[in-house]
Amino acid sequence: MDKRTRQRIVGVVLLLVLAAVLAPFVFRSPEQIRNALDMQIPDQPEMTAVNVDPVVTTEMEEAAAERIESEREAVRAAAQEHLQANPDSAEPPPAKDPVVTEDAPVPPPADPDDGPVLAGFVVQVGSYSSVDNAEAVVEKLKAAGYRAYSETDSHQGKVVHRVMVGPEIHKKDAERTRQQLADDSRFGFKGLVRIYAP
């Protein structure tokens, strides 16, 4: 068989396959297409309720209540024996549900300025290369009533002295302090709120 005959046979076979694939689409009626697209979805089956037994049975609850009551009785008996053995420190046994009648002295709340704050936010008001300039700004801020301090750090191989105000526990308080410093005509610092790292 020569090359030309083989090409014709392959072409005829491809046309027959293409015709076999496309013929059902061409010769279908619109009714057949509509029926093919209609789907019958079955109704949702009825679900039966599953009865689950409780994990804790009433017998278990009763046994636990009895054990608790027996332990309470054992504690009461031990307390009575202790009171009888030590009549010097005898106090009336507490009632089943004791009611506190006298107020215990409550310690006053700790002043936040007394101890160091271990976490919070500070306002960085500036970085200075000279320790004298940084200390001068710290003293000026302290004189104005701010809690200011300086810390030494290195940045790009140079020693810098950062002046901080704070710390504050809440970020909104640090933001308020930053705004006060910006509005204060004596300073006009445009500070930066940072996380306080002691």
Q: Is 125 within the bounds of a domain?
A: yes
Between the two ends of the chain, the Cα-to-Cα distance in Å is 94
> Which ranges of the chain would DSSP assign to H, the alpha helix?
3-26, 30-37, 58-85, 131-143, 171-183
Residues 175 and 135 in one domain: yes
Where does a domain end: 52, 69, 90? 90
Residues 142 and 180 in one domain: yes
Q: Is 112 within the bounds of a domain?
A: no
184, 144 contact by CB (below 8 A): yes
List the one residue out of 165, 116, 120, 111 whose CA is nearest residue 143.
165
Residue pLDDT tens, the chain, 198 long: 799 999 999 999 999 999 998 887 777 777 766 666 667 778 888 887 777 766 767 788 888 888 888 888 888 888 888 888 776 655 555 555 555 455 445 455 545 454 554 568 888 888 888 888 889 888 988 888 888 888 888 878 888 888 888 888 888 888 888 888 888 777 777 888 888 776
**CATH number (domain holding residue 185):** 3.30.70.1070
Domain around 84: 60-90
Give me the number of domains the chain comprises: 2
Q: Is 124 within the bounds of a domain?
A: yes
